[in-house]
Structure formats: C-alpha cells, structure tokens
Amino acid sequence: MDGKQNNNQEIRMEIVAYNKETIALIQSKVQALIQIVSELEDNFPDRHFTLDGHLVGSIGEVLAAYYYGIDLYTASTEVHDGIIHDREVQIKITQQDSIQISAEPDYLIVLYLTKKGQVFEVYNGPGKEPWDSASKKDSHNNRHMRVNRLMELDMKVSSEKRITALQHIEKMKKEFKNRKK
C-alpha cells in the first residue's frame, strides 16, 4: 500500500455491522423523510425540499458499505469515503440529475435515491473516466457529472474493474428518475 492508503487507514472508523436489519431501519427512516419532504412541497409548491448535503451523503455511504462491503473512513475524509480490497472509493448518492465531486477518485460508486426510497446503482468503476468527462469546475472547484452521462460511462466498465456487490442492487434506468412536480 502507498502512503496515502496508510494515512487513510489510520483515520478509518470502527467497522459497523451493516446487515439487513440496519439497512431496513435506514430505508424506513428515509421513507419517512421522503414523506415529510412531499408534504412540505405540497404545502409550499414554489420550494424544493430535497434531501441533500451531509444527510443524503451519509445515507449513500452506509448503503454502499452494505451493498459492496466497503470499509468507511471517518466522515468528511478528503476525496475517498472508504476502501475495499486496496481500492479507495468515493461514494455519491443523488435524487437529482447530477452529482458533483471536487477531486479525481481512484474508484467511484454513484447511487440514485428515488422519492419512494429505492436505491439504484448509477456508476461503479474507476474514477478517471467520469472525472475527465465532467463539466468544467464551478466557483467551488467542483466538477459536475450528469446521471445520464454516468450511466453511459458505466456501460463501458468491464466486470473486473467494478467493485463487486455483496448484496443485489439494481442498475439505474432513465425511467427510474424522480419526476419534477
């Protein structure tokens, strides 16, 4: 392992048991949050109450740990969120049409969360191709990547370059996308 991986291993959190029961708890709580968001949007039609930021990011990381067996680093570790089989991984989850990243990850897993609480795999593979094909950096040095483009790139990733899912997760399809009101 190189120095970067050794440094990150020092800040890894204790391994938590991610199993069907703990994931069912998250799914139940996410569905309750989604219901609250729906009620708020019904009452305030000119506002979007999307689940984003740290909350959705942490949900994505926990789900990726469950589905792929990734050992998560402590929260807010730069660039990568965890490691599996010497592969450092950045994990992103969205309910929107895009994601943003601030640095090129070694590996990238992108998940999609529907308004019904379903989770789908958008992209699973090396981070170089998505990074290179991302839009230009914004004022915060983030690069933006469209979900549709990530789905296209995902189709080109060979099986040996993917992180093997330990639990079944369905691939994202365009028709699964959340519809805007």
What is the average pLDDT across 92-103? 92
- The answer, yes or no, to whether residue 14 has pLDDT greater than 60, is no
Query: What is d(CA 140, CA 166) in angstroms, rounded to the nearest whole number?
Result: 35
Percent of the chain as helix, strand, coil, to the nearest 5: 35, 20, 40
Other C-beta atoms within 10 Å of 94: how many? 23
| Predicted pLDDT of residue 10 | 46
> How many angstroms separate the most distant Cα atoms in the chain?
53
Report DSSP letters for 46-95, one per residue. T------THHHHHHHHHHHHHHH-PEEBSTT-SS-SEEETTEEEEEEEES
Listed in sequence order, the residues at least 6 apart from 130 whose beta carbon sits closer than 8 Å to its beta carbon are: 101, 108, 123, 145, 149, 150, 153
Query: What is d(CA 105, CA 162) in angstroms, rounded to the nearest whole number?
Result: 14
Mean pLDDT of the chain: 86
Residue-wise pLDDT for 35-53, tens only, equals 998 888 888 776 777 776 6
- The answer, yes or no, to whether residue 55 has pLDDT greater than 90, is no
- pTM, two decimal places: 0.80
Residue-wise pLDDT for 117-154, tens only, equals 899 999 999 999 999 999 877 888 889 999 999 999 99
| Predicted pLDDT of residue 16 | 61
Q: H-type helices in 69-170, by residue range?
A: 128-133, 147-154
Query: What is d(CA 95, CA 88) in angstroms, rounded to the nearest whole number?
Result: 24
Helix axes 20-43, 54-68, angle to 10 degrees: 150
- The answer, yes or no, to whether residue 9 has pLDDT greater than 50, is no
Phi, psi of 97 (to 5 degrees): -95, 0
| Predicted pLDDT of residue 37 | 85
Query: What is d(CA 122, CA 150) in angstroms, rounded to the nearest whole number?
Result: 7
Residue-wise pLDDT for 18-31, tens only, equals 788 888 898 899 88
Residue 8 exposure: Cα atoms within 13 Å on the Cβ side = 23
| Predicted pLDDT of residue 11 | 45
